[in-house]
Amino acid sequence: MERYKYLIIGGGIAGTTAAETLRKDDPTGRVAIVSDEPHPLYSRIMLSKPNFFLEKVPFDTIWMRKAESYAEKGIDFLGGKSAVTLDSKAKKVTLDDGSELEYEKLLLALGCPVRQLAVPGIDKKGINYVKTIEDARAIIANVKKAKAAVVIGSGFIGFEMCDMLHLAGLKVDSVIREKYFWEPVLDEPAGRILERKMAAEGIVIHTASEVAEVRGGDWVEGVTLKDGTAIDCQMVILAVGVSFRGEWLKAAGLEVRRGIVADEKLQTNLPDVWTAGDVAEFQDVIMEECLMCGTWINAQMQGKTAAMNMMGRGETYRQLSSYTAHGFGLNIGFVGNVWRGEGRELIGRGDGDSGKYAGIVLRGNRLVGAFMVDRPGDMAPLKRLIDSKMNISGFRDKLADPTADLAALTGE
Amino acid sequence: MSDNKIASVKVDRDTCIGAGPCVATAPGVFELDDEQKAVLKRAGGTKTSDLTKVSEFEATDADDALLMAAAESCPVRAISLYDAEGNQIFPA
pLDDT digits (tens, 9 = 90+) for A177-231: 999 999 999 999 999 999 999 999 999 999 999 999 999 999 999 999 999 999 9
Average pLDDT for A318-344: 94
Residue B35 distance to chain A (closest CA, Å):
5
Q: How far apart are CA A181 and CA A195, in angstroms?
A: 6
Q: Which residues in chain B are contacts of A13 at CB distance < 8 A?
A: 75
The sign one gets for the Cα dihedral A156, A159, A162, A163 is: negative
Is A321 within a domain? no
Instruction: Tell me if A65 sits within 8 A of A39, measured CB to CB.
Output: no
Optimal mutation site among B34, B36, B80, interface A, most CBs of chain A within 10 A:
B36
| A45 shares contact with chain B (CB less than 8 Å) | yes
Q: B52-89 burial by CB neighbour count: b if 16+ within 10 A, else e?
A: bebebbebeebeeebbbebbbbbbbbbbbbbeeeeeeb
The answer to whether A280 and A18 are in contact (CB under 8 A) is no
Question: In this complex, how many residue pairs, one in chain A and one in chain B, have their CB atoms less than 8 Å apart?
Answer: 53
Residues A277 and A364 in one domain: no
Q: How far apart are CA A239 and CA A241, in angstroms?
A: 6
CA dihedral (B72, B77, B78, B83) positive or negative = positive
Q: Is the pLDDT of residue A259 over 70?
A: yes
Q: Is the ipTM of this complex over 0.85?
A: yes
A36: left (phi over 0), alpha (psi -120 to 50) or beta: alpha
A105-127: average pLDDT: 96
Same domain? For A36 and A80 the reply is yes
pLDDT band at B86 (very low <50, low <70, confident <90, very high): very high
CATH code of the domain containing A223: 3.50.50.60
In this structure, is residue A53 part of a structural domain? yes
Give the burial class of A71: count Cβ atoms within 10 A of its Cβ; 0-12 exposed, 13-18 middle, 19 or more buried: exposed
pLDDT interval class at B70 (50, 70, 90): very high
Average pLDDT across chain B, whole number: 93
Question: Considering A238, A258, A275, which residue would you say is the last residue of a domain?
Answer: A238
CATH of the domain at A349: 3.30.390.30
Give domain status of residue A258, yes or no: yes
Strands A211-216 and A220-225, by their bridges, are antiparallel
pTM for this one?
0.95
Q: Sorting pLDDT into bands at 50, 70 and 90, what band is B12?
A: very high
Predicted local distance difference test score (pLDDT) of residue B3: 80
Task: Please tell me the predicted confidence (pLDDT) of residue A83.
Answer: 98
Domain co-membership, A100 together with A37: yes
pLDDT-derived band at A51 (thresholds 50, 70, 90) equals confident
Task: Tell me: do A162 and A250 sit in the same domain.
Answer: no
- Taking contacts as CB-CB distances below 8 angstroms, the residues of chain B near A326 are 17
Local confidence band at B1 (pLDDT 50, 70, 90 cut-offs): very low
From the candidates A17, A45, A163, which should be mutated to test the interface with B, based on the most B CB atoms within 10 A?
A45
Which pLDDT score is estimated for A15? 98
Same domain for A350 and A304: no
**How far is residue A129 from each of residues A23, A85, A276, B6, measured CA to CA in Å?**
34, 26, 23, 40
**Residue A407: per-residue pLDDT:** 85
Give the angle subtended at the CA of B74 by the CAs of B72 and B78, to the nearest 5°. Answer: 105
Task: State whether A322 and B35 contact (CB < 8 Å).
Answer: no
**Do A103 and A140 share a domain, yes or no?**
no
Each residue's pLDDT tens digit, A238-252: 999 999 999 999 999
- Average pLDDT over all residues of chain A: 96
| pLDDT > 80? residue A47 | yes
Residues in chain A: 412
Four-point Cα dihedral A310, A312, A313, A314, nearest 10: 90
Asked if residue A83 belongs to a domain, the reply is yes
Asked if residue A318 is part of any domain, the answer here is no
Residue A323 forms part of a structural domain: no
| Residue A133 maps to a domain | yes
Q: What is the pLDDT of residue A50?
A: 87
Residue A78 CA to residue A19 CA, distance in Å, equals: 13
List, for residues A217-234, the tens digit of each pLDDT value: 999 999 999 999 999 999
Q: What are phi and psi of B35, to 5 degrees?
A: -95, 10
A106 and A61 in a common domain: yes
Task: Output the furthest CA–CA distance in chain B (Å, rounded).
Answer: 37
Tell me what pLDDT residue A410 has: 73
From chain A, pick out residues whose CB is under 8 angstroms from the CB of B32: 380
How many structural domains comprise chain A? 3
Domain that holds residue A94: 2-113+243-310
% pLDDT > 70, chain A: 100
Report phi then psi at A141, rounded to 5: -65, -45
Q: Is the pLDDT of residue B2 over 70?
A: no
